[in-house]
Every structure is written in C-alpha cells, then in structure tokens.
Structure 1
Amino acid sequence: MVDLRRLRVLRALAEHGTVTETAAALHLTPSAVSQQLRQLARELGVELLRPEGRGVRLTPAARILLRHAETLHTQWEAARAELAAEGREITGTLRLCGVSSAVAALAAPAVTALRDAHPGLTAEVREEESGDCFRLLLAGETDLALVLPGPGVPPVPDPRFEQFPLLDDRQDLLVPEGHRLARPGGVTLAEAAAEPWIVKRRDNDTFGLLAAACAAAGFTPRVAHEAKEWFAVSALVAEGLGVCLLPRLVPLPSPHAVVRVPLTGEPVPFRRIVAGTRRGGAGHPAVAVGLDALRGAAAARPGAVPAGGREAF
C-alpha cells in the first residue's frame, strides 16, 4: 500500500527541486523529507532518487510514479467528497486562504454567509500570496484558495488543481489630489507612462499585474518606491512620490489626499479573482458550499463584473 502523504512529498520535491526547499514548503525537516522518500521507495521496491552533485535527481521510476500520482490524488479527493456527502448536515472545518484584497472583499462576507447557513461548519481564513496558496493546497493545509493568475500561479491545464473564475476586478489609477491626471472623466494608462510608480517588486502579486498592464499600454513603469500594503502605498501617493494602480475591491484609505481616476481606452487593466481547489475536491460538501458563498459574495459587490464564465478550468 502507498501512503499518499509520502507521495505528496515526492510531488513537492519534483516541484521545488531540492530536499531543503521541499522541507520548507511542507513545514518538515530535511531529514524527515528524506526519510519519507526512502520509505516510499521501500514500499514500491524501486529507486526514486539518485545523487547528483550536492543534490538529487528523480529516477525514471519516480517520473512514472508522478504521472500516476495526479490520478491517485484526484480519486482520493473525489472519494473524500463522496463520503462527506453521505452526512445530512455539513460539518467540519473549511480552510480558506487568499490574497489580502480578496480575503477582505470576498472571503469575509462568504464566511459570514456560511456561518449563518451551516452552523456546524467552521471556516478558517489565512492571508497569503497567490503562489503560496497553491503550495498550501498541495500540502493539504487549505481547501480553497483565492488567487490572482500570474507568473507564480500554476497554469490552467495543471492536473493538480481546478480553478473557478469569480470576478474581474477593474483597476484605477491612484494619484495625489491636484495631480495633472486627476480628471473625473478618466485617463488612459499610457498618459501615466512618465510618472514614478509605487509598487513592491518581489513577493507581490501586484507587480506582475502592473508590469503586464503597462506593457500592454506601451511602456515599462519606472518604480521609484517599493511598498506593498495599500495604506502605505496610498500614503506615499498622497505625498506626491508616485502613482499606482488601485483595484476597485480596495477602498480608498480615508485619511489620505488621493484621487481614484478611472482608466479608459483599451485594454482596461483588471485583475481576475479565481478560486482554486485540489482537483477532485470541489465536490466535497464543505468546499462546494464555500465556492457558492464566494460566488455570492462576488456577485454582491457593487459594480461587479462577472469573470468569463463560472465553469471550472
């Protein structure tokens, strides 16, 4: 018999490349990772790893096993979902993680709706960047993730996950009061090409979205200051130190003298908010009602623009 927990360790090693990084991603020690992989190899009677320099590489047998691992995990998630559906009442714990703005705008009201509709279900919320959310899904530490598609997010065809579009969140230009671009009728993004920009470049989903939007508008943003939290970004903008893109899910921090300017022309920058699950897990009753609650929260947003369909990827 194969322990799926050990198979998950092998899958993480294939993704991260080293025992040390795998251990960090799974919150284990490197020795524990190595032990799990040795036990898996003994169970199957094959060699899974070979030394290569200071690291290891996967053997052909390991690659074969990984091809089947996605099917095994999907079937296991589907089995858990079917077993949970046997109960009359939805109980247990639903764990959600997501980027901060989606947690505030979607997860918070969704959890309230779940609490009212399913008192036997406990929801736990955790704020993380998009890439980290998918790592938590793989590690079995969360059940639903609210993410922004981008460089750190698995592609749609990834067999490990299902992705459900929830909301297309338009972005505006944030400028100080009295700025030349503070026009009620809106401006094009290209008109801000010469402005200094405020955005954190690393460990921040927002930077990839900004870079893509500016590239589509025909320029590369000049980053003058780096900040990630919206309150800090807004304070810097209010002082005239630069401009930024502000999603409509994010409210204006009231103490700051800033103006939200609509962006016009094509393409208009937006962020797609997506819910992610482990493939096969969307049929679990707790995950299913969680997805429904998130969809309801998205639809209730003022001026919400439904994402391109409700089907899963």
Structure 2
Amino acid sequence: MIDLRRLHVLRMLDEHGTVTAAAAALHLTPSAVSQQIRLLGRDTGVDLLERVGRGVRLTPSARVLLGHADRLYADWERVLAEATAAPAGGVLRLCGFPTALAALLAPAAAALRDALAVEVTEAGNAECFALLLAGEADIAVVLPAPEAPPRDDPRFDQQPLLQDPFDLVVPAGHPLASAAEVDLSAASDEPWIGADRGDDSAIVLAACSAAGFAPRIAHGAKEWNGVVALVSHGFGVCLMPRLAPVPAHHRVVRIPLRHPAPSRAVLTCVRRGSGAQPAVARGLAALAAVGAQSPLPLVDGEHDEAVPHRHTYRAAPS
C-alpha cells in the first residue's frame, strides 16, 4: 500500500528541489520530510533518493513513481468529490493575484459566506499554484504567465474565466480624453508610465510594437495606484488592465482601444479532479457569476469566444 501523504511529500520535493525548501512548503522539518520519503521507499521497496555531493536527487525509481502520482491524486480528488457529494457547508480557500482578489475573489467570497467558511489569500501568480499543490488553497484565479504551469499540466485543471482588456489611461483634459475609443498609435508620441509588473509590461510592449512604435518610458511604478497617480499629475499615459481599479480621486480617463485591443486571459485553477467537490463547485460557480456581472468581455468555456457586455469604460474624472 502507498500512503498518498508520503507520495505528496515526494511530489513537493520534486517541485521545490531541496529537502529544506520542500519542508518549508509543507510546514514540516527537513528530518520529517526525509523520514516520510524513507517510509515511502520502504512501502514501495525501492530507493527514492541518492546522494549527490552534499545534496540529494531523485532516483529513476522515484521518477517512475512520480510519473503516476498526478493521475493517482486526480483520482483521489474525484473520490473525495463523490464521498462528499451530499453534505453542505465546509471551508473553501481562495487565492489570487491582487487585482483578481479585488474584482473577483472578494465579491465571490461575499456571495458564499452564508453557506461556507471562506478564506481569501492574496498571492502572486506562481505562489497560487504552489498553494494549490500544497493543499493550502482550493481555487486560484491566475494568469497564464510564461513561468506558470501549462494548461495541460496533469496536476491542475485551468479553465478560462474572462478576458481582461487593456485601456489607454490619460490625464483628465488630455486631447484624447474625449474620444470614445482610440487607436493605440495615437499615443505613440506621448511619454509613458512604465508598470514594472512582469507579464503586464510584456503585453504593453508587445501591443505598442504591433501598433508601430516603442513607448518612451518617462517614469515607472510597481503598483497600479502609483502608475495612475503619475498619469493623473500629467507625467504620461499608460495601458492598464480593466480589472485594475482607478481610485476616484485620480483625475484620469480610461479609453478603450480599437480592435485588436491587447488583453490578458484570466483563469480559474483547481487541483485536477477536485472541481466536483461541493465547496469547490460552489466557489467556481460564484466566480463565474461574478465574471458574468463584470463589464469585461467574457470567455465562453466551451468555445473560447468573447461575449461583449455593454458598459461605459471611460470613467469621467471626479
């Protein structure tokens, strides 16, 4: 018999690379991690670790075992879904990147709290996947970033929730501020506020390149609030995802871009096989409902087609 908890420790060691890092992710001591892997080796009758200098690495036998681990865990999640199909209630743990927490997770959690105990955690994109794998989150709202697991990763079930388009943000009183929509090339000669936000920055640079120019980055900030503050005071323009809120005291105008507008996909992610568990299913339904009420164009889960929703995207300055 294989103890799935010990197999999970082996998965985490493979994921994090060292016994110490795996122990930290599992909230165990390194000696406890080593002991669990020794016991798993005893259960399977094979050596799972071998010494390499001062460290260890997984043996070929361990790799074979891990090759079947994702399927075993997905099957176990489905067993849990069947076993818990009747009871209501429970605890649901949600996590997501900051703008998703504000726009999607918080209202979804509010809709769920009468039926479930809901815990919400703000986490970076990569951390969301780590929390799911460690069993410390049940649903994550994530972006398909280059460093993220691919959509067909056997450990996770990632599904489209919505597309988050980018708008041009200009100061109130700017010559473009009265436009209902613009071509991105109209801002080619403007100073730009750079958002040091990884993949968002890559989307902005790619969109500008496709529009035929390289933006002249005059200033930069890490958080959207700082970016918008600089725009508000006339230091430049920026592209900003529609999920990111603009504080009312900033005198800026958001202008939709003419097709093709740059956008980023927003996904829900759960451990593969867990989506039918009652609490998880409720959470996914709540997120879908919040997304359906959003002014963003939705992604149809079957056909991945954008369905536009009427909304005035250009906010008048307060």
Which residue of 182, 190, 200 corresponds with 1:206? 200
1:81-96 → structure 2 map (5 Å cutoff): 81-87=81-87, 90-96=88-94
1:170 maps onto 2:165 in alignment: yes
Work out whether 1:270 is the aligned partner of 2:268.
Answer: no
Aligned to 1:300: 293
Q: Secondary structure at the match of 2:221?
A: coil
Deviation at 1:188?
Answer: 2.7
CA contact (8 A) 1:7 1:40 kept: yes
- Counterpart in 1 of 2:55? 55
Pairwise CA distance, 1:310: 4.8
What are the within-5 Å matches in structure 2 for residues 71-220 of structure 1? 71-87=71-87, 90-116=88-114, 118=115, 121-179=116-174, 181-182=176-177, 184-193=179-188, 195-201=191-197, 204-217=198-211
Amino acid at match of 2:194: I
Change (3 A) 1:157 1:83: same
Contact 1:196-1:221 at 8 Å conserved across structures: yes
TM (norm. structure 1) is 0.86
3-state secondary structure, aligned to 1:290: helix
CA deviation after TM superposition for structure 1 residue 73, in Å: 0.4
Structure 1 window deviating more from structure 2 (159-168 vs 37-46): it is 37-46
The whole-number CA distance in structure 2 between the counterparts of 1:27 and 1:311 is: 41
Amino acid at match of 1:111: A
Q: How many residues align?
A: 303
- Work out the CA distance in 1 between the residues paired with 2:52 and 2:267: 38
Q: Give structure 1 stretches of 5+ with no counterpart.
A: none
Aligned-residue offset at 1:150? 1.2
The 1:22–1:243 alpha-carbon spacing in structure 2 relative to 1, beyond 3 Å, is farther
Decide which of 223, 231, 236 is 2:225's aligned counterpart. 231
Q: In structure 2, do the counterparts of structure 1 residues 34 and 225 end up closer, same or farther at CA, with 3 Å as the change threshold?
A: farther
Question: Could you tell me how far apart the structure 2 residues matched to 1:23 and 1:216 are?
Answer: 45
Could you give the per-residue CA deviations for residues 153-209 of structure 1, whole angstroms, max 9, x where no partner exists? 2111101111121111211012223445545143333444553332124xx553344
Q: 1:140–1:291: structure 2 CA closer, same or farther, 3 Å change rule?
A: same
**What CA distance in whole angstroms lies between the structure 1 residues aligned with 2:69 and 2:301?**
29
The 3 A distance-change label for structure 1 pair 239 and 278 is same
> Contact between 2:195 and 2:224, CA under 8 Å: does it hold in 1?
no
- Structure 2: how far apart are the matches of 1:110 and 1:282? 16
* Cα 1:139/1:222, change in 2 over 3 Å: farther
Identical amino acids, percent of aligned pairs: 55
Does the 8 Å CA contact 1:148/1:274 hold for their aligned counterparts?
Answer: yes
Aligned to 1:34: 34
Q: 1:70: which partner in 2? A: 70
1:19, distance to aligned residue in structure 2 (A): 2.9
- Letter of the 2:81 counterpart: A
User: Matched residues in 2 for 1:192 and 1:20: separation?
Assistant: 50
Counterpart code for 1:164: Q
Q: Which amino acid aligns with 2:233?
A: E
Any conservation in 2 of the 1:224–1:242 contact (CA below 8 Å)? yes
Q: How far apart are the structure 1 equivalents of 2:29 and 2:219? A: 37
Q: Give the TM-score, by structure 2 length.
A: 0.85
Q: 2:37 corresponds to which letter in structure 1?
A: L
Q: Kindly indicate whether the alpha-carbon contact (under 8 Å) linking 1:130 and 1:205 is maintained by their aligned counterparts in 2.
A: no
SS at match of 1:153: coil
Supply the AA of the counterpart residue of 2:193: W
CA contact (8 A) 1:9 1:36 kept: yes
- Which whole-Å deviations, capped at 9, do the CAs of 1:74-112 have from their partners, x for residues lacking one? 11111111111032xx11101110112222222222222
Contact 1:150 1:208 in 2 (8 A): no
Instruction: Answer whether contact 1:50 1:58 (CA < 8 A) is retained.
Output: yes
- Could you list the runs of 5+ residues in structure 2 that have no partner in the other structure? 305-318
C-alpha spacing 1:183/1:30, structure 2 compared with 1 (3 Å): farther
Supply the distance in 1 between the matched residues of 2:213 and 2:178 (Cα, whole angstroms).
21
